[in-house]
């Protein structure tokens, strides 16, 4: 999962980016509305943390432009204290959630998790794919109840596939959602990570769909629609 942080206060921006990275997200950050708008326009983020009070292009304008261009990425806005009108304007511009400054980082992380979960259609914070359970609260993965130790990148990959459960995800899409913009990309890296995940989680967990990508399925049975008679 890849997050964009748009915040002009350097200390808070770094704090946000650091906490989100520690929580297992790929993070890009922007210090002003122009850069933030551009990134959100060109990169496929899974959520955006957007400060409303920005120099140049303000947060409401950034959000309004994305929404009118059909960009539906979940957006959490940060507002100053006692600025309830700002919250109303933010929601009307297309925000999905808000936090008032100052806030607890734990709350921000919980809200971001919930936004991403809802956007991918999951109600529970634990996503189950056959014997594998991905606990998005603690960034932990288990197989048949046994915890499995994963590296940060392995977790990013399995977490993205789990959120997109039952859908074939191309290697390009995976690359775009698990690395930030500063990462030096090597097209073979994804294959290497998938190989390692198979060794750690079991060979049948991640299915390779030839020429299309990878899929993590909710259950162990055959894919729906394949063979078999329709009952009734």
Crossing angle of the two packed helices 152-163 and 171-178, in degrees rounded to 10: 120
Taking CB under 5 A as the binding criterion, the range among 52-60, 179-187, 197-205, 216-224 that sits at the site for Ca ion is 52-60
Closest separation between CB of residue 90 and Ca ion, Å?
A: 13
Q: How many residues bind Ca ion (CB under 5 A)?
A: 3
Q: How far is the CB of 7 from Ca ion (least distance, A)?
A: 6
- Residue 109: phi and psi, rounded to 5, are -60, -40
CA distances from 119 to 21, 112, 139, 150, 163 (A): 20, 11, 18, 25, 9
Distance, in Å, from the CA atom of 80 to the CA atom of 52, rounded to the nearest integer, reads 8
Nearer residue to Ca ion within complex by CB, 84 or 183:
84
Beta strands in 53-145 (DSSP E): 75-79, 97-100, 126-129, 132-135, 140-143
CB closer to Ca ion out of 77 and 162: 77
Output the smallest distance, CB 58 to Ca ion, in A.
Answer: 9
Token pair belonging to 88: 């109303």
* 56 near Ca ion, judged by CB under 5 A: no
Q: Does 8 bind Ca ion (CB under 5 A)?
A: yes
- Rounded Cα distance between 112 and 28, Å, is 15
What is the smallest separation between the CB atom of 63 and Ca ion, expressed in angstroms? Answer: 14
Return the number of the residue (63 or 190) whose C-beta is nearest Ca ion.
63
Query: What gap in Å lies between CA 32 and CA 58, rounded to an integer?
Result: 8
Task: State which residue, 93 or 158, has the beta carbon closest to Ca ion.
Answer: 93
Q: Which is nearer to Ca ion, 51 or 154 (CB)?
A: 51
| 51 is an interface residue for Ca ion by CB under 5 A | yes
Q: Which residues bind Ca ion (CB under 5 A)?
A: 8, 51, 53
């Amino acid at each position: 999962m890849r997050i964009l942080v748009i915040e002009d206060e350097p200390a808070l921006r770094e704090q946000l980016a650091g906490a989100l990275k520690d929580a297992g997200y790929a993070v890009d950050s922007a210090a002003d509305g122009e850069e933030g708008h551009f990134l959100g326009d060109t990169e496929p983020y899974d959520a955006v943390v957007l400060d409303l009070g920005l120099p140049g292009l303000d947060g409401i304008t950034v959000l309004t432009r994305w929404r009118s261009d059909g960009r539906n990425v979940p957006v959490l806005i940060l507002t100053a204290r006692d600025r309830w009108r700002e919250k109303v304007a933010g929601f009307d511009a297309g925000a999905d959630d808000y936090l008032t400054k100052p806030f607890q980082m734990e709350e921000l992380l919980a809200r971001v998790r919930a936004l991403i979960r809802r956007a991918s259609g999951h109600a529970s914070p634990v996503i189950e794919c056959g014997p594998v359970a991905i606990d998005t609260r603690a960034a932990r993965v288990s197989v048949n109840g046994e915890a499995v130790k994963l590296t940060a990148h392995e977790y990013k990959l399995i977490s993205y596939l789990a959120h997109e459960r039952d859908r074939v995800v191309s290697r390009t899409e995976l690359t775009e959602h698990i690395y930030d913009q500063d990462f030096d990309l090597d097209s073979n890296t994804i294959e290497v990570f998938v190989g390692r995940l198979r060794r750690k989680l079991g060979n049948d967990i991640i299915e390779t769909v030839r020429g299309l990508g990878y899929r993590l399925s909710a259950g162990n049975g055959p894919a729906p629609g394949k063979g078999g008679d329709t009952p009734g």
